[in-house]
Amino acid sequence: MSEHSGHSEHSEHSEHSDHSGYSEKDVQREVSELQAKSATAARIFDLRRIIGGLFVIYGVIVTIAGISPSDADLDKAEGVNINLWTGLGMLALGLFFLAWLWLRPTAPPTPEVLPDERAE
């Protein structure tokens, strides 16, 4: 790729910089160029959906396990219906993430416009 001519360029350019042969300016330019072409901001999915989804599923499974606990399970857990409480807690956390996503949706990706103006 022609954009990546950075390497050959700075090897000439930095010959007078005899110490590291590589200056902060080179790093700044190289990383800025790559950041301009980066696709993560525009294409990465929203993690809140995954956390929310997984914890809702886990919450349902564990809550169901706690709906009619056997005596053995209750005895084991010091008389606490731990499956019910943990399940409801996980369900609540999952719903929290989904609600957050719903109230503050991902900023629509600004597709391929000036990459320097990447949205929040």
Partner 1 sequence: MQTPTTHTYLAAELRLPTNWPDYTILGIYFVVVLGIGFAARRSVRTSLDFFLSGRSLPAWITGLAFISANLAATEILGMAANSAQYGAYTVHWYWIGAIPAMVFLGLVMMPFYYGSKVRSVPEMLLLRFDKWAHLLSSALFAFAAVLIAGVNLYALAIVVEALLGWPQWVAIVVAGAFVLAYITLGGLSSAIYNEVLQFFVILAALIPIVVLGLKKAGGWDGLTDSLTKAHGADFTTAWGGTGIGSDNPLGANWLTIVLGLGFVLSFGYWTTNFAEVQRALSAKNLSAAQRTPLIAAFPKIFIVFLVMIPGLTAAALVPGFGTADSGYQYNDAIPYLMEQLLPNGVLGVAVTGLLAAFMAGMAANVSSFNTVFTNDIWARYVVKGREDEYYVRFGRLITVIGVCASVGTAFLASSFSNIMSYLQTLFSFFNVPMFVVFIVGMFWKRASAVSGFWGLLAGTVAAMVNYFWIYKQDIIDIPSDQGANFVSAIVGFVAGAVVMVAVSLFTEPKPAEELQGLVYGTVSPGMSEPPAAGDDAWYRRPALLGWGAVVLAAACYIPFSF
Sign of CA dihedral 9, 11, 12, 13: positive
The answer to whether residue 16 forms part of the interface with partner 1 (CB under 8 A) is: no
Full 3-state SS string of 16-33: CCCCCCCCHHHHHHHHHH
Which of positions 20-39 make contact with partner 1 (CB under 8 A)? 20-24, 27-28, 31-32, 34-35, 37-39
Q: How far apart are CA 47 and CA 38, in angstroms?
A: 19
Q: Which of 13, 60, 73, 101 binds partner 1 (CB under 8 A)?
A: 73
- At residue 111, φ and ψ (nearest 5 deg) are -65, 115
Which of positions 37-56 make contact with partner 1 (CB under 8 A)? 37-45, 47, 50-51, 54-55
Shortest distance, CB of residue 99 to partner 1, whole angstroms? 15
Check if the beta carbon of residue 93 is closer than 8 Å to that of residue 84. no
Q: Which of 60, 61, 88, 98 binds partner 1 (CB under 8 A)?
A: 61
**CB neighbours (10 Å) of residue 94?**
20
Q: How far apart are CA 15 and CA 37, in angstroms?
A: 28
Interface residues toward partner 1, by CB under 8 A = 1, 3-4, 7-8, 11, 17, 19-24, 27-28, 31-32, 34-35, 37-45, 47, 50-51, 54-55, 57-58, 61-62, 65-66, 69-70, 72-74, 76-78, 80, 82-83, 85-87, 89-90, 93, 118, 120
